[in-house]
Amino acid sequence: MAMIALVLPEPKTARAESQSQQGNKFDVVGFILIATFRGALEVVVDRGLEDYWFGSSFIVTFTVISALAFVLFFS
């Protein structure tokens, strides 16, 4: 990505328009949702084999949390 930015610089007019329209705001809700999705998915993948995958209510709960965060992130 850095090489692309160096080779193909963005025109100054496009940069000024994008900054004036969007600003440099950090999407806190999006960050929390993607972190929740990735964290819960990591727990499912790591503990799944030990807890017999979907035979465990713990794994099912974290799968639902992960799926819900994923859907909310894209909505």
Query: How much is the pTM?
Result: 0.66
Token couple for 22 = 């969007």
Q: 23-75, pLDDT tens digit by residue?
A: 667 889 999 999 999 999 999 999 998 988 989 999 999 999 999 999 999 98
Q: How confident is the model at residue 19 (pLDDT cuts 50, 70, 90)?
A: low
Which whole-number Å values give the CA distances from 30 to 3, 15, 33, 35, 70, in the listed order?
27, 23, 5, 8, 10
